[in-house]
Amino acid sequence: MSTISADPQRLATPPTFQKVGAARRFKNGLATTLVWGAFLVAIIPLVWVLYTVVQRGFPVILDGDWWSKSLSGLLARQQGGGAYHAIYGTLVQGLVCGVISVPIGIMVAIYLVEYGGRSKLSRATTFMVDILTGVPSIVAALFVYTVWITYFGLGRSALAVSLALVLLMVPVVVRTTEEMLKIVPDELREASYALGIPKWKTIVKIVIPTALSGILTGIMLALARVMGETAPVLVLAAYAPFINFNLFEGPMASLPLLMVNERNNPTQAGFERIWGAAITLVLLITLFNLLATVISRALAPKTK
């Protein structure tokens, strides 16, 4: 009960056990309508997009070949083949990117929330993360191209793509993790310190697990964004219609790249491949989301 006293001036309402006035009831009704309305308005395009993807893509992915074959040696107008090469590329590039960005992103967020305080570096970092959020993917790609290929003289590869994706993924991870860490109640930290547990252990064992489900949501969102990213793959890894398992060398397909490529293909086969790739990507992300949910349920402290 004592909690509310923290900001008493906000509750400028009459005492309890009074009849709710008409104006308040009206406002309440209006707000409820608006919230429901917003939801209904939003759900239309959202479901519509998904419906378009499913309706056009679903028949394509029912074919077993889709999951096990590449498009190697097929003409633009020839039906058949699959997206195995692109699925592999998307997964590998996404995972490598995730493996690099998640630790960096979480550490940055921890620094900002737990260590940085109001120091200059902390402010600079916050600001830089904001900027990084706004770096268009194509600029990030051109940057990596210049450094990786022009300056270091390394070839184009899936790894270069992953590096560009890291630039896009880190800020999203930082921002969401930061928000989640901020709202972990201080009492938890204090209780831990009171028991003599070191700060780092408090962060790892108390703070992060408490915020874990939110952090995982953020990571999944970030991963979803980078796996659907087109510009870096376009600039940094050439498209290959065949399977390339080598992360460090040679052209490698990915689902967005496959889609951009097939847009040059005006035939029915191209149409099917575009939407097939789209739904495949959505399914992959769904799978990741499910995994994240399961993991966060298993790891989260029992609070509710």
Cβ partners under 8 Å of residue 267, min gap 6: 76, 77
Q: Which positions from 99 through 128 interact with another protein, judged by CB under 8 A?
A: 104, 107-108, 110-112, 114-118, 121-122, 124-128
Cα separation, 109 vs 112, whole angstroms:
5
Q: Which of 88/165 has CB closer to another protein?
A: 88
Q: Is residue 59 a contact residue for another protein (CB under 8 A)? A: no
CA dihedral sign, ordered 113, 119, 125, 127: positive
Cα separation, 178 vs 70, whole angstroms:
41
**Binding another protein by CB under 8 A: which of 92, 97, 99, 146?**
146
Query: Mapping DSSP to helix (H, G, I), strand (E, B) and coil, where does residue 119 land?
Result: coil
User: Rounded to the nearest whole angstrom, what is the least distance from the CB of residue 97 to another protein in the complex?
Assistant: 14
Q: Which positions from 190 through 209 interact with another protein, judged by CB under 8 A?
A: 190-191, 193-194, 198-201, 203-204
DSSP states along 185-216: -HHHHHHHHHTT--HHHHIIIIIHHHHHHHHH
Q: Is residue 60 a contact residue for another protein (CB under 8 A)? A: no
Q: Is residue 46 a contact residue for another protein (CB under 8 A)? A: yes
Q: Shortest CA distance to 148 belongs to which of 133, 131, 165, 125? A: 165
Q: Is residue 149 a contact residue for another protein (CB under 8 A)? A: yes
Cα separation, 115 vs 118, whole angstroms:
9
Q: Shortest CA distance to 175 belongs to which of 135, 137, 214, 224? A: 214
**Binding another protein by CB under 8 A: which of 59, 99, 152, 183?**
183
- For residues 4 to 43, the per-residue mask of contacts with another protein, x marking binding by CB under 8 A and - elsewhere, is x-xx--xx-xxxxxx-x---xx-xx-xxx-xxxxxx-xxx
Q: Is residue 255 a contact residue for another protein (CB under 8 A)? A: yes
Q: Is residue 221 a contact residue for another protein (CB under 8 A)? A: yes
Q: Is residue 295 a contact residue for another protein (CB under 8 A)? A: no
- For residues 257 to 276, the per-residue mask of contacts with another protein, x marking binding by CB under 8 A and - elsewhere, is --xxx-xxxxx------x--
The pair of structure tokens assigned to 85 is 């090469």
**Binding another protein by CB under 8 A: which of 95, 100, 135, 247?**
135
